[in-house]
Structure formats: C-alpha cells, structure tokens
C-alpha cells in the first residue's frame, strides 16, 4: 500500500496528471457522479476551513459582516444588467419545476408537468443581482451606507471541462458585496479587498502573487474595473486566484438603488464585489507540492506535526508513549496541531509515505534508541531533510521550524516565480517562449485587437496591468504602435 | 423612530404576528423576492455563526469531520430508497436545463431547449442518497469504518406555507452522515448526537427540551428510528428542534455499500444521519423574547454588553469616553463582546429601545454624574431591572451577571415548560385543553389509527415517546385499549 501511495506521476512526466492524481491520492477531493460536481473529502475540507477562518477574520477586521442571500435567482433578474446576463446566462443551471411524481410503471419518479414554475429560477452563478434587488430596500439615505456584506456559499456555473478545485460546476466561495455613497469610497474598497487577498495568499498560503488590474476584455461581466491576484504555478502558467470588482453604478441603476446624498440629492449607490473560491485549494496544491505529494504551509496544515513511534514490542511502545505524551501536551499548549500516530495496524514506512503524501510539515520519529539517548528524529517536509536532536527544547525548536518552513516555501515559490518573469519586446521571441510557461511583461497598445491576436496566436492572455512594475512607455510588440505601459501576459488555468 | 421600533405587536394580542414582526424589526431576516426563500441579515447571521461554531466544536469532539457533497442529486438516486422518495419527491426543486439564451425580442433571456439535461437533477432536500452513493467507494472493509462526516450547507424543500426561520423553502443546516460496522454502534451514534443537540439547546440556547423517539408515522423517510428534541414555545406549542436518525441498513442496501466484516463476511453498512437547521433561530427567538423585543442568551448574543454615554457637551463625552475605554478593554480581555455606542446621530432613548429590541443581554449607561461618582447604571435585558453600581469591580460583576442571565432565562423557560406539561387520561378533557397549548402526557395504544384520530380531531400530534418520564402501563385515552407507556402530544410548528 505504501508503494501505491508513492505511485504518483512525476511532475516532469505530466504536471497535469501529477495534479489530478495528487488531489485524489492525498484524499483532498474526488469527482462525484454528478457531472462536474466534486466531493470535498474531510482532509481537503479541513484545509478549506482553515482558509475560511483566516480570511473571515480579515474581512471582519475591515468592518465586513456575514449574511445569507437566496440560492435561486429569478431569470428576469439576470437580464437587468446587460453585460452581466451576457457573461452568465450561458452556463447556468435552470430550475423549471418544483415537484416529482411517481411514474406510470410505479418504479421511479418523473417531473410533474403540473408543477411548472411561472418564472424559471437560476442557481446563483454569482449573487450581484439578488443582492442588489435586496439592497434596494435597505438603502434610502447616505446614512444607511456603506453596507459591507459577505456570504460564504456554493455557486454553480455549468462548465464543460472541469478539473478538481480549478474548474468545477459547483464550487464553494465567498462573495463580498458592498454599497457606498461615493465613487471614491467604492474604488478604495475594491482595492482594499484585493490587498486583503494578496496578503492572505502570501502570508498564509505562502503563494506570491502579482496584483494588477484586468484589461477591459477580461473584466467581470458588469464591472468598470476588475482587480486580480495572479499566481504562477510550477509549470509557469498563471492561476487567477482572487478578484475584486469596482462595479460603478451599474447594479445600482439596474435595480434602482437610489439614496439621498449629503447634498440632499437622489443618487445611485456605488458598488463593489469580490471573491475567492475553492480554486485557492488548487493554487495551494500546485505551488508547493512535489513528486512525493503535498507540501502544505504550516499555517493552513490541518496536522502541523505528526509523531510516529518505532518499537519492537509493547513494552518499548509503552515507554515511548509516555515520553511522547509530554511532548504532545507541550506542542498543543503552544497552539500547534499535532497527531501522535501509534496505531499498530500500519508499518512506520507506510505512515511515513502517507504523511509525506498528505504534506504534514514536520514529522518526529522516536525509536527505542532515541528514548535511551533522549533524542528524536525531526524531518521537515519542504526539504525532506532529517536530523536527530536532543529532546531538550524540542518544542521550541519545532515551533520555530514551522515558521521557517512557512517562510522557506514562500521564498522558494517567489524565487521560482521571479526567475520566470521576463521582459519581452519581440513578438517572435514571445511566441517561441510563451509555450514553455512564465510571465511575460510586454508593452501593449491598449487595443482589444492586439489582445485577441496574442490569444489566437499563442493561447496566452493579458493577465493584468501589474501594479508593482515601474512603467515606461514603449512600443507594442505586436502592432508596433505606441504603448503606455507593460502588461503581464501568460498562459493560464 | 424609537417609537416605531417599540411598535411591536404584543404577544397577548397575536403571538404569531409578534414573531413575524420581531424577526424583521430586530434585523434578523426578511423575505426575499424568491418565493419562500429568506435573506438572513447580518445581525441574524451573527447569531447563526455562534450557533455553528459551538455545535461544530461539539461535533468534532466526538470525532466528526466536515466534508462537502454536491448540491445536485440525480433524480434516479431518490428512487433507490422507497420510503425516502415518497417523503421528499413531492417538494423538491428540479433542474432540467443548463443554459439560457437571448429571446427573439432581444430584451431578455429564455431557457435554451437545446440544453436539456438527459436526467433531471434535484436540489438536495437532504443528502443521504448522494452521500451513500459516495460512501460506496470509500468502504471496503470494517477497517474503513466508522465514517463520521458532517456538512454545513443549504437545502431546499418546496414548502407551500413558509415562515421566516421556522419553515422556508431554502434553509441552512448541518447534516451528519455516519457509516458503521455494527447495528449497535450506529444506534449509539444516533443517540449520542441527540444528546449533543439536547446539551447545546439547554446550555447555549437556554432552551429546555424533551428528548424522545418518534412514532413510526412521524419518522424520517427511510429511518428505523428517529430521535428528537422538542421545545415548548411561549404559546405552548411544540417546536421540533433537532432530529437524529438510525437508518439501519436501508441506505447501505439501496446504494450497495457492503464491507468485509471482522468475521470475513460481506455485510451492508449501518447508517445514521442527524441535523439541526436555521429553525433553531426560531426556537431561540420564540422561547425567550418579550414584548420589548429579543431576549438573547449571553452565550449566543453577538453583542453581550452595550455601553451608552449620556452627555450634554463634547467635553463631558470626552471624559466619559476615557473612562469607558478602560472598562471596554477589561471586558474584552475577559472574552466578552462589547460595543461602545457613542455615535452622536441618535439620542440615548433611541439607542436604549434599539438594543432592547436586539436583545443585548447587558446595557451599561454612564452620565456626567456617574463619572463624578465613579458609578455606572447596569440594566439586564431579561428582567429589565436597573441599578446604579460603583465602577470598582464592575467588570467582574458584568461577567457574573452574564452567567446569571444565561441561567435565569433557562430556568424561566424551564419553569414555564414544566408548568405546561400535563398528564391526561381523558380524551374529552384533552380535546378541550390541547387548543390552549401545552404538552400532554397520555397513554397510547401504539396504533397508527389512534394517532391519526387524535390529529384529525385536534391537529395535535405525537411528538415523541419521551425518555425521561417514568413509564407505567395504562389505558389509551382514545381507544380504551391497553397502553404500555405515555407519549408526548402537542400542537406543533
């Protein structure tokens, strides 16, 4: 069985297959029998819960409150905002009936034609429409603003090609929806939430991200501006990991949300929305993991430390148990999540492989000789380095080691990412190289035509106009026209 | 505006209208424009989050892990378990298509007939079928058992008459689904989870409950036994507040979930499921609240203490602010959730009425004279009693007061409940009295006929065979036949 666990396709053979296998073998998720819908297994869900908890705290620190809005959206709501319906009507699940009845053969159920809805309902692909239809009743005066709501929920988009976590018909996410009295305040909020996402990605997920603004083509349907964080996977492709939208007054107008402003005039409310989803799980897995399995950042690992005993007989085990119990108690007192696996139905070698596969950041092993010598073996998952240390001060050592691993995998990912960002001024050169991955910083003339040509020629897209790049004017590498700034171009998930 | 807040129908005038108004006026929830689906507003959702957190911790203490299963269930799955489909097919939302398209007039969207699903999908009314279809792949040997999964999610049942929190088409809940190697272990788990629910209801919600087992008629569709907790509302009606089901091998057989047992024989897995929902919010509101608004148990109150200053000028306010800041910091250090409301756009009288309506357990008021005298006014929401106390030791006093309020509202509810439980042996007497509410302990002959007659005559139903009643045999008050035990009968929500 240990062999089977290790039997993971190598990244160098097929990065894509490696990912698909890893998600299943590490017990994170699996396909269900419902097309495109996944089952998130307990180990995967435990990581998602840690992501949720950390993000939720950060949202609340900025004044956001959670709420809950209906799953189903009347079909007509979608049509209110012209771009929005264009973006979402093509891929939605439609509820048309509200009852089943026994079939004629009495061996199954069929849709009851008598129970047809007057107006069809859509399973939310995103909730701007139903939420702004609600805000209409909450907002009369500037004193009612801002409204800062978030919901954690499921959404559904009828994707044709799905991959676990990265693109599924149903996924879990949070969607924040805010209403403001001024344009400036709304724009600030949209940017503030992007920063929350970027901080979370870098400090918790240990995933470095490029922050920037999307081109018009790549904007959210109904937004005036879409801000994004883009992460680089180990194959050099970009993964859009979170977006925050400045929606202007589009939804305020579509749902007639007007308020009396400070100047006593009627004005449409200003909006933002922002979300991250279970797609973050994909980013987490693909950024750090290796051919032995998952590598998890300690801050999001359900089990941060695992301890495995090696013993020849019950007596030895009992002595090790006693010693380890003290270490476990001390680790827990420091808030470290630790598992002592002294189950006797699996060999140590199997356990080692399994916890490596599951990405547990630190493994401690204690054998009979360790017990004699007051030592313990420490292995760190990120580098797979082992050392034998004295048990004196081991708890503080492990605590610091967890911090070091968190920092190290971030730096490793950042080094990789930075080494694969290229300035490029020649389209032939670009076309030859973009296939192999990497982020390309290229001058762009700002036209949709150029953008479309790049996509057609290379499948690469403009990921964003990055914020943290010192911009100088130049010449568009495709059209030869003047360009004000460089954009980040890459193939993406 | 303070007047409007207070303008709540009295319970004595109409308990039902009082409830409906209170839910809306206290900003807990409101109807959406989607039939039967509610919007849970931030203040209501904050209570739900506290309920979730406390329950989730308790589940995990018993070894349960969270996971996530698909929202949509293939229609055919429902038919696999005969009683289950009978119970749920009549009230479900059916997805028949996966795309909309622009209509001919180009001013809206219509269902695209080309995007019809081969098999219709049902929005989960409960997830036994999809989960047991998944467990099939997880369970081969007794070593794979038990499986103890829970999910927090939304479900949909197409109710015709809806009321906020109590009965809505969409609601939020948790559903636990466990698989076991033996009948005994599954039965124990079903009972264990009922106990978790009962403890939570009594210790956190301060709602006393009767624990018992449902009659065959009232069982969950597909269960061998349904355990329940029943709470009494202030109108004497019962509210079923949580159920735990022993499902036997029904779903194991329906989805062919077999495993090799310790005796090396193939056996079907044994199942339980158990759930509580946003209906608990209804129980919480109706048990404790009064004509002034909500009364919340301190353990679940989003704001446990509110502090309001009374001042004549900015200088006074500044001095009060300084004094109060110290108290706030000390309260927070004890883990108490406190809000200092020194906003100057509302009068103190408005604030008082608003926080009463919202059920904040303790209100502190500090005026200029208090500041001079080093005193503060303390009001407790449950009794509305006020007293002026020295600020010395105020923090410990408030901490103890919160515990006292938690205990007091539980005892008050329990006294009320106990005073309205009656033993009754005469059907005419029963029929005359049951209209006015209360729980009736009556001998029952165990037949569905008697049960149906009681329901037809009085709208009351057998809520359960209670666990904590000393049972003696007797005579069924309806049929005159011998009866082994008394059951709890009441009208219910």
Q: The domain spanning residue A333 has which CATH number?
A: 3.40.50.800
Banded model confidence at residue A419, pLDDT cuts 50, 70, 90: very high
Chain A residues in contact with B108 by the CB 8 A cut-off are 76, 79
Interface test with B, best of A44, A78, A100, A107 (most B CBs within 10 A): A100
Torsion of CA B436, B441, B443, B448, to 10 degrees: 70
Asked if residue B186 and residue B80 are part of one domain, the reply reads: yes
Q: The domain spanning residue B250 has which CATH number?
A: 3.30.930.10
Q: What is the pLDDT of residue B2?
A: 47
Chain A nearest C-alpha distance from B335 (Å): 16
Q: What is the C-alpha to C-alpha distance for residues B311 and B343, in angstroms, rounded to an integer? A: 12
pLDDT tens string A426-442: 999 999 999 999 999 99
Q: B167 or A89: whose pLDDT is higher? A: B167
Q: What is the pLDDT of residue A87?
A: 86
Domain region containing B365: 303-404
Q: Say whether pLDDT at A135 is over 80.
A: yes
Other Cβ atoms within 10 Å of A263 Cβ, number: 7
Q: What is the C-alpha to C-alpha distance for residues B417 and A102, in angstroms, rounded to an integer? A: 43
Chain B residues in contact with A37 by the CB 8 A cut-off are 70-72
Closest A-chain CA to B158: A98
Asked if residue A363 and residue A460 are part of one domain, the reply reads: no
Chain A residues in contact with B149 by the CB 8 A cut-off are 42
**Which residues sit opposite B94 in a β-bridge?**
A97, B122
| CB nearest to B94's CB, from A95, A154, A170 | A95
Banded model confidence at residue A6, pLDDT cuts 50, 70, 90: low
End-to-end CA distance of chain B: 33
Asked if residue B147 and residue B45 are part of one domain, the reply reads: yes
Flag whether the pTM goes above 0.90.
yes
DSSP A335: T
Asked if residue B265 and residue B159 are part of one domain, the reply reads: yes
Chain B nearest C-alpha distance from A443 (Å): 37
Q: Say whether pLDDT at B3 is over 60.
A: no
How high does pLDDT run on average in chain B? Answer: 96
A-B interface: how many C-beta pairs under 8 angstroms? 193
Q: Say whether pLDDT at A2 is over 50.
A: no
Q: Which of A465, A460, A487 is nearest to A228 (CA)?
A: A465
Q: What is the C-alpha to C-alpha distance for residues A30 and A219, in angstroms, rounded to an integer? A: 31
Q: Say whether pLDDT at A133 is over 50.
A: yes
Interface contact A100-B94, CB threshold 8 A: yes
Asked if residue B243 and residue B155 are part of one domain, the reply reads: yes
| Residue A12 covered by a domain | no
Banded model confidence at residue B1, pLDDT cuts 50, 70, 90: very low
Q: What is the C-alpha to C-alpha distance for residues B352 and B367, in angstroms, rounded to an integer? A: 14
Asked if residue A147 and residue A41 are part of one domain, the reply reads: yes
Q: Which range is least confidently modeled, A2-11, B106-115, B350-359? A: A2-11
Interface contact A96-B94, CB threshold 8 A: yes
CA atoms within 13 A on the CB side of B407: 6
Interface test with B, best of A50, A72, A105, A124 (most B CBs within 10 A): A72
Q: What is the pLDDT of residue A222?
A: 92
Closest B-chain CA to A156: B71
Chain B residues in contact with A46 by the CB 8 A cut-off are 65-66
Peptide bond into B478 cis (omega under 30): no
Q: Which of B120, B124, B131 is nearest to B92 (CA)?
A: B124
pLDDT tens string A147-185: 999 999 999 999 889 999 999 999 999 999 999 999 999
| CB nearest to B97's CB, from A94, A98, A100 | A94
- Got the DSSP string for B357-398? HTT-SEEEEE-HHHHHHTEEEEEETTT--EEEEESTTHHHHH
Chain A nearest C-alpha distance from B37 (Å): 6
Q: The domain spanning residue B474 has which CATH number?
A: 3.30.110.30
| CB nearest to A111's CB, from B32, B39, B120 | B120
Q: Say whether pLDDT at A81 is over 90.
A: no
pLDDT tens string B4-45: 556 899 999 999 999 999 999 999 999 999 999 999 999 999
How many domains does chain A contain in total? 3
Asked if residue B282 and residue B258 are part of one domain, the reply reads: yes
Which of B404, B438, B471 terminates a domain? The answer is: B404
Which of A260, A288, A316 terminates a domain? The answer is: A288
Read off the pLDDT of each residue in B146-161 and give the average, rounded to a whole number: 96
Are the CB atoms for B343 and B376 separated by under 8 Å?
A: no
| Residue A406 covered by a domain | no
Asked if residue A427 and residue A396 are part of one domain, the reply reads: no
Interface contact B100-A123, CB threshold 8 A: no
Q: What is the pLDDT of residue B421?
A: 97
Q: Which range is least confidently modeled, A126-130, B188-192, B195-199, B217-221? A: B217-221
Q: What is the pLDDT of residue A89?
A: 82
| Residue A139 covered by a domain | yes
Asked if residue A440 and residue A352 are part of one domain, the reply reads: no
Q: What percent of chain B has pLDDT over 70?
A: 99
Q: What percent of chain B has pLDDT over 90?
A: 93
Chain B residues in contact with A41 by the CB 8 A cut-off are 67
Q: What is the C-alpha to C-alpha distance for residues B154 and A26, in angstroms, rounded to an integer? A: 27
Interface contact A41-B130, CB threshold 8 A: no
Chain A nearest C-alpha distance from B422 (Å): 40
Helical H segments across A101-182, by residue range: 128-138
Are the CB atoms for A439 and A421 separated by under 8 Å?
A: yes
Q: Say whether pLDDT at B400 is over 60.
A: yes
How high does pLDDT run on average in chain A? Answer: 96
Asked if residue A208 and residue A93 are part of one domain, the reply reads: yes
Asked if residue A478 and residue A389 are part of one domain, the reply reads: no
Element of type H or E holding B16: helix B15-25
Interface contact A45-B65, CB threshold 8 A: yes
Helical H segments across A255-347, by residue range: 279-288, 314-333
| Residue A189 covered by a domain | yes
Q: Say whether pLDDT at A379 is over 80.
A: yes
pLDDT tens string B415-456: 999 999 999 999 999 999 999 999 999 999 999 999 999 999
| Residue A353 covered by a domain | yes
| Residue B413 covered by a domain | no
Interface contact A107-B79, CB threshold 8 A: yes
Which of A232, A256, A288 terminates a domain? The answer is: A288
Asked if residue B263 and residue B167 are part of one domain, the reply reads: yes
| Residue A284 covered by a domain | yes
pLDDT tens string A295-348: 999 999 999 999 999 999 999 999 999 999 999 999 999 999 999 999 988 999
Pull the structure tokens for residue B59: 């589940």
Chain B residues in contact with A65 by the CB 8 A cut-off are 42, 45-46
Chain B residues in contact with A78 by the CB 8 A cut-off are 100, 109
Q: How many residues does chain B have?
A: 493
Q: What is the pLDDT of residue B4?
A: 54
Interface contact B75-A100, CB threshold 8 A: yes
Chain A residues in contact with B102 by the CB 8 A cut-off are 89
| Residue B295 covered by a domain | no
Chain A residues in contact with B94 by the CB 8 A cut-off are 95-100, 111
């Amino acid at each position: 069985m240990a062999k089977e666990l290790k039997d993971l396709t190598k990244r160098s053979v097929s990065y894509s297959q490696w990912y698909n296998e890893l998600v299943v073998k590490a017990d994170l998720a699996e396909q269900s029998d419902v097309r495109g819908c996944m089952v998130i297994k307990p180990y995967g869900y435990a990581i998602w819960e840690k992501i949720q908890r950390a993000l939720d705290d950060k949202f609340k620190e900025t004044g956001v409150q959670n709420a809950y809005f209906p799953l189903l959206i009347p079909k007509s709501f979608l049509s209110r905002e012209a771009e929005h319906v264009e973006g979402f009507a093509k891929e939605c699940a439609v509820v048309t009936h509200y009852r089943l009845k026994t079939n004629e053969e009495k061996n199954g159920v069929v849709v009851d034609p008598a129970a047809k809805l007057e107006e069809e309902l859509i399973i939310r692909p995103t909730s701007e429409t139903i939420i702004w239809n609600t805000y209409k009743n909450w907002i009369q005066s500037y004193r009612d603003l801002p409204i800062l709501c978030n919901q954690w929920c499921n959404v559904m988009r009828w994707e044709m090609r799905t991959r676990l976590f990265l693109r599924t018909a149903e996924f879990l996410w949070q969607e924040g929806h805010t209403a403001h009295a001024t344009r400036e305040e709304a724009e600030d909020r949209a940017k503030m939430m992007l920063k929350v996402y970027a901080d979370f990605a870098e400090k918790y997920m240990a995933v470095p991200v490029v922050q920037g603004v999307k081109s018009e083509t790549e904007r959210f349907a109904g937004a005036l501006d879409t801000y994004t964080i883009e992460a680089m996977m180990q194959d050099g492709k970009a993964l859009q990991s979170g977006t925050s939208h400045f929606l202007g007054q589009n939804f305020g107008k579509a749902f007639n949300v007007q308020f009396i402003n400070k100047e006593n005039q009627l004005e449409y409310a200003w909006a933002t929305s922002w979300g991250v989803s279970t797609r973050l799980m994909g980013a987490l897995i693909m950024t750090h993991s290796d051919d032995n399995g998952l590598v998890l950042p300690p801050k999001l690992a359900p089990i941060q430390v695992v301890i495995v005993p090696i013993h020849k007989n019950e007596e030895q085990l009992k002595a090790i148990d006693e010693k380890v119990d003290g270490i476990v108690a001390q680790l827990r007192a420091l808030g470290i999540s630790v598992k002592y696996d002294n189950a006797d139905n699996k060999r140590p070698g199997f356990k080692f492989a399994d916890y490596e596969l599951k990405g547990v950041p630190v493994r401690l092993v204690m054998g009979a000789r360790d017990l004699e010598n007051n030592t313990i073996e420490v292995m760190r998952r990120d580098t797979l380095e082992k050392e034998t240390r004295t048990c004196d001060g081991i708890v503080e050592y492990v605590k610091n080691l967890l911090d070091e691993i968190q920092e190290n995998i971030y730096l490793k990912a950042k080094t990789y990412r930075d080494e694969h960002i290229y300035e490029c001024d020649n389209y032939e050169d670009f076309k030859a190289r973009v296939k192999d991955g990497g982020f390309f910083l290229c001058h762009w003339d700002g036209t949709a035509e150029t953008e479309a040509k790049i996509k057609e020629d290379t499948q690469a897209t403009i990921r964003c106009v990055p914020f943290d790049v010192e911009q100088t004017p130049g010449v568009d590498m495709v059209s030869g026209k003047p360009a004000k700034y460089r954009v980040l171009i890459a193939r993406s998930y």
